[in-house]
Amino acid sequence: MSAEHSIRALLSASPLAPNEARILLSHVIDKHYQLSRSALLSQDDLVLNPIALSDWKTLESKRLAGEPIAYLIGKKGFHAIELTVAPGVLIPRPETELLVDIALDAIKTVAEPIHVLDLGTGSGAIALAIAHSANNVALTATDQSLQALKIAQQNALNLKLDSRISFKQGSWYQALEENDLFDVIVSNPPYIAKGDVHLGQGDLRFEPQSALTDNLDGLSCLKVIIFGANAHLQPEGLIAVEHGFDQGKAVMGMMAEAGLRDIQNHADLAGHPRVSTARK
């Protein structure tokens, strides 16, 4: 094989952003040579064999076409854990780690046993991150998508957290028994409004639309979750929901209308209002 197919040459010639090229090429050399990402520097004269080179070219082309890196390599880091992801689930995002942190803070104030509900779990990111960081918690995670639940269950197995989480299929609270009660309810529901231009941009073009938009005003799923919370929260229990940067006032208004108290809004690392919380 030609030296133009060495790691150094491929990275230099790639039209991808350098950090993206490194992630994808690292995935290729791990798959074909069982080498870590450090090999991109320490063994940058390595010439890829034809199969590995073909894999690299395929990944490079797909990324240039806009496909998300997380789907291309099949994994995504989130709040100290690594998750398997695929086109059937939303890609976990850094701003959603705020929801996990809020839940973990709330758990510290609850007497054991602690029960947490994650509505619309997707890849299981929120529930699994909570379980990974708090070993005294029993979790229930729901999703209406069987495809998503299969990925979440696989992630639970991979992280050896499957004994701590009960997965249930159904739309929001419909997956639960009438008398199921929780100390904390968390959710990152679809909150992008129908027709929002962002749905046709970047990674969102490839993610499941049902996990992004309610095909209405972006508030309908939040409304179901907020108005159903009292029936499934313990006294003093906390609900925390992620929402759009411009939806905080509307979400807090729904919480007040639902009779919840101690209503607060929390900003993400970019300073955008991102999570609203309330107590029963």
Q: What is the CATH number of the domain that holds 173?
A: 3.40.50.150
| Six token digits for residue 95 | 């701003």
Does residue 49 sit in the same domain as residue 109? no
Compute the distance between CA of residue 68 and CA of residue 224 in angstroms, rounded to an integer: 30
Residue 81 lies in a domain: no
What are the C-alpha distances in Å from 227 to residues 42, 144, 200?
A: 56, 19, 31
Strand 233-242 and strand 273-279: the pairing is antiparallel
Residue 274 lies in a domain: yes
Does residue 52 sit in the same domain as residue 122? no
**What pLDDT score was predicted for residue 1?**
54
Quick check: 42 pLDDT over 60?
yes
pLDDT 10s digits, 170-222: 999 999 999 999 999 999 999 999 988 888 888 889 999 989 999 999 999 99
Compute the distance between CA of residue 190 and CA of residue 224 in angstroms, rounded to an integer: 12
pLDDT 10s digits, 61-101: 999 999 999 999 999 999 999 999 999 899 999 999 999 99
What H or E segment, with its residue span, contains residue 72? helix 69-73
φ/ψ bin of 208: left (φ > 0), alpha (ψ from -120 to 50), beta (otherwise): beta
Does residue 205 sit in the same domain as residue 271? yes
Does residue 59 sit in the same domain as residue 107? no
By residue range, what is the domain housing residue 198?
A: 87-279
pTM summary value: 0.92
**What pLDDT score was predicted for residue 110?**
85
Q: Where residue 6 falls among pLDDT bands split at 50, 70, 90?
A: confident
How many helices (H) and strands (E) would you count in the chain? 10, 9
Average pLDDT, the chain: 93
Query: How many domains would you assign to the chain?
Result: 2
Compute the distance between CA of residue 218 and CA of residue 49 in angstroms, rounded to an integer: 48
| Six token digits for residue 214 | 């309610």
**What pLDDT score was predicted for residue 62?**
95
What H or E segment, with its residue span, contains residue 271? none
Compute the distance between CA of residue 126 and CA of residue 188 in angstroms, rounded to an integer: 9
Does residue 30 sit in the same domain as residue 134? no
3-state SS assignment for residue 122: coil
Q: Where residue 38 falls among pLDDT bands split at 50, 70, 90?
A: confident
